[in-house]
Structures are given as C-alpha cells and as structure tokens.
Amino acid sequence: MDKPAATPSALLIEDEQAVRRATAQALELEGFTVTACASAEEAMPLLNRDFPGVLVTDVRLPGWSGLQVLAHVMRIDPDLPVIVVTGHGDVSMAVEAMRAGAYDFVEKPFGSDSLLEIALRAQEKRSLVLENRRLREAWAHDPELPPLVGQSPAIERVRTLIRSLGPADVDVLINGQTGSGKEVVAR
C-alpha cells in the first residue's frame, strides 16, 4: 500500500486580521494546515521550491503587493499554485494575475466553499507536481531501477529483489494482475 496523502497545507497572506482569521479557519475546517501571515515579508521565508501546499494571498498588502508576491513565487517555482484574492478587483487585474501565473483569482467577498474548492484543486495539483519531481529525481539517481510507481514497503521489497536478481543468470517467473508492471520488472 502506498503512503497516505499528505495533509493539505496553505500559506495565507492577508493583512486584515478578521479576514485572515476567518479564511484560515475555513481552510482548517476542510483539513488544511494553515500558516497565516499579515504581510508578504513575513511569508516569504516560508516559501521554497519544495513548499508542499498552496499560497493564498490578498492583492493589497502593506509592503509587497499580492502581484509582487506572485511574481516572486513564479521565480522560485512556477508550479506552486498561487490563489490571488482581492476586494478591489477588476477584470484587468484578474487577467494580469492569471497571465503572471496565478492558479486562480477570487474576488471578495467570497464564499468559503468557492475558496475551498479552488484550494483543494490547487493542493491536488501541487501534490502531483511534487510527486512527479520526486519520481523523476529517483529515476535520475538510479536509472537502472525499473520505473515502478509507489513508495510502499512492498514496492521497495520488489525493487530490492530486482536489484539482486537482475544481474544473476537465472530464470525467473513473474506473475501478477494485468497492468501490475510485470513487463517493466522483466526488462
């Protein structure tokens, strides 16, 4: 069995305390682990290429704007989903944010259900991107290893068995259900 999905996480940047608290609470009720920051400067040290979650940022912030945050994040990792929120939005701002790489744009006041739906889709995308990177790095590190998907103890035992039997001059019977990777193991 593969390891369970990680707890969704969100970094929230919102300068209005009441909105920050309400948004964080809505995300937490949906199972997110939320780190809430009052400014971009407070949040920036928490972001890196391996950040496992999504970023939700207001556009109008003291110091850096949400669009400046977005531009900075796109330089760090263009695959990190950034959800831009504003109470002063217009069509041109939304278009600018989307062109700059925003995952989505939400206008205040928003229903928590709409933000949660967007955040869950963004988290799913982020998890897939990070898993893909991890698998590519593992493959690059050990290209002789068959590209078997999974990190469970059972799959690791199969990989170990392949490594030990691969160089041996013996006949091996490989059985399993259709699509389980028998041909990959045989190669």
pLDDT in tens, 54-105: 999 999 899 999 999 999 999 999 999 999 998 876 778 888 888 999 999 9
In a domain, 32, yes or no: yes
Residues 62 and 127 in one domain: yes
Grade residue 107 by pLDDT with cuts at 50, 70 and 90: confident
In a domain, 4, yes or no: no
- Domain with 62, as residue range(s), is 9-137
In a domain, 167, yes or no: yes
In a domain, 1, yes or no: no
Is the pLDDT score of 3 beyond 80? no
* More confident call, 167 vs 37: 37
Total number of domains constituting the chain:
2
pLDDT of residue 146: 59
Residues 97 and 180 in one domain: no
pLDDT of residue 147: 65
Residues 132 and 150 in one domain: no
Q: Where are the alpha helices (DSSP H) in 33-181?
A: 40-43, 66-76, 91-99, 112-141, 153-165
Residues 19 and 92 in one domain: yes
Phi, psi of 43, deg, nearest 5 = -85, -30
Residues 131 and 159 in one domain: no
Residues 73 and 163 in one domain: no
In a domain, 3, yes or no: no
In a domain, 28, yes or no: yes
Measuring CA to CA, how many Å separate 187 from each of 34, 144, 148, 167, 171? 45, 10, 12, 12, 13
Residues 164 and 80 in one domain: no
In a domain, 171, yes or no: yes
pTM of the predicted structure, to 2 decimals: 0.74
Residues 127 and 158 in one domain: no
* More confident call, 158 vs 123: 123
Q: What is the DSSP letter of 44?
A: G
* More confident call, 181 vs 39: 39
The least confident of 1-10, 87-96, 174-183 is: 1-10
| Residue among 5, 19, 3, 50 at smallest CA distance from 155 | 3
Q: Please give the share of the chain, as a percent, with pLDDT higher than 90.
A: 51
pLDDT of residue 158: 79
Is the pLDDT score of 4 beyond 60? no
Given a contact cutoff of 8 angstroms between Cβ atoms, the answer to whether 150 and 2 are in contact is: yes
* More confident call, 39 vs 146: 39
In a domain, 65, yes or no: yes
**Which residue in this structure is represented by tokens 């912030």?**
61
Residues 67 and 98 in one domain: yes
* More confident call, 1 vs 44: 44
Residues 87 and 178 in one domain: no
Query: Which amino acid, 43?
Result: A
d(CA 163, CA 19): 54
Q: Tell me the pLDDT tens digit for each residue of 129-144.
A: 998 888 788 777 766 6
